Structures are given as C-alpha cells and as structure tokens.
Amino acid sequence: MCLRPAVAYGPRGKYIAGMVFAGGLIIRNRGIRTFRLFEDGLHTSWVHSEDIAGAAVFLLDKEEAVGKVFNISDDTPVYSSDVLKKLELYGIEVKVKGKYHKNLADSLIRILAKTPDSVDMFINRRIQKVWDKIVIKYNLEPALQPSFTHHLLLFFSRDYVISNMRIKNLGYDLRNPDFFRGFDEIADWYR
C-alpha cells in the first residue's frame, strides 16, 4: 500500500510548517511587528505527524488496504493566508492588504523559481546566521534548520487539496482533524 501525506506539521517539523514557526521567530527578532498579507491565496491540505504515524499503524491490520493508495490529511484545507496569520502567535500583528491575485502570484513564482542555486545559498547563509543567534538567545534546540529553496516556490503555484475519505471509510479516526487546533497546540513547542 502507499500513503500520501498532505503538508505535514508536528513537533520537530523541519519543512514547510517548521518554516512558519522559524519564520515567526526570525521576523519577531528582526524587530518587525507588523506583517501584511493578501487574503486567501492557495488552498492546501495539511496533516499532523501523529495522524501520518497513526494511519500507517491503522492500515497495517487492514487486509482490504493491500494494494491501495491512501491520502492522509486532516479535514480542514486552509488558505495560505490562514497559515501566515499564525505569525500572531509570536506577537506579530497580521494585517490583510487585499485579495490574493493568483495570476500575478503565479507569474512571480515562475520567475523566482528560475533563479540560480547560488541565490538559495546566499539567502540560506543569511537565514542561518539569524537563526543561530535566535537559538543561542532563547536556548532552543537547534533541530529546526530553516532554509529556502527556489524549487519549493513551485509548490505555492497551485492548490493542493486532497481527500482523506478512503482511509476514513475504513474506520480511521483522525487524532487531529482540525488544522487550526492542531497547529496551535504544537506552536508552544516552537516558542
């Protein structure tokens, strides 16, 4: 069988969700107290790491799951602006500037996605310097290594909403069915 998780978040998450938390700390520690964003944006499914592990264990005992593919996601796809509003957890005021313009964003993402790898390296050196100072200042576990890759920008060029109905129809109950509650509960781990 094959499990296809949505965008994963959870304690010690290092990738997209982890970058939201690291980004909040970086923004706050750079003295930025207000963050402006466009309302809505891309619509994406997320899943808590507990549900990825829970689904895998659950499916091991299901004979009818053999040979099938299962999407693993929570029940509440969210807009990118909803995720960015989580910066408020760090005392950053989030202000909505207007509506998200998909065509304009797509064009900008496609241009930025063609930048050379040397740009990523430059940006990552800058991010790492700031992050190292934050880890020392707040005595953090340095497990999270925030980084940027222009290839990831293509991920932000379309919606990624997936259905979890196949696994739910087999009887799996999500431990974290709601992105907003699950994400807020793990935020303390990063603060």
- Cα 109 to Cα 155: distance, rounded to the nearest angstrom: 9
Please tell me the predicted confidence (pLDDT) of residue 154. 67
SS3 content of the chain, % helix, strand, coil (to 5): 50, 15, 30
Residues 10, 15, 18, 20, CA torsion sign: negative
The pTM score is 0.81
Pairing label, strands 34-39, 93-99: parallel
Domain contains 155: yes
Are the beta carbons of 28 and 91 closer than 8 angstroms?
yes
Residue 2 pairs in a beta bridge with 69
Please tell me the predicted confidence (pLDDT) of residue 35. 84
Domain contains 152: yes
**Of how many residues is the chain composed?**
191
145 versus 51: the higher-pLDDT residue is 51
- Cα 27 to Cα 21: distance, rounded to the nearest angstrom: 10
161 has pLDDT over 70: yes
Domain contains 158: yes
Domain contains 165: yes
Provide the CATH number for the domain around residue 38.
3.40.50.720
- Cα 102 to Cα 55: distance, rounded to the nearest angstrom: 34
Q: Which domain holds residue 80?
A: 2-184
Please tell me the predicted confidence (pLDDT) of residue 38. 83
Pairing label, strands 78-79, 43-44: antiparallel
Domain contains 191: no
156 has pLDDT over 80: no
Domain count for the chain: 1
pLDDT single digits (tens) 26-62: 888 888 889 888 888 888 999 999 999 999 999 999 9
pLDDT single digits (tens) 112-129: 878 888 988 998 899 889
Please tell me the predicted confidence (pLDDT) of residue 2. 96
Token pair of 1 as six digits? 């069988």
Mean pLDDT of 95-117: 82
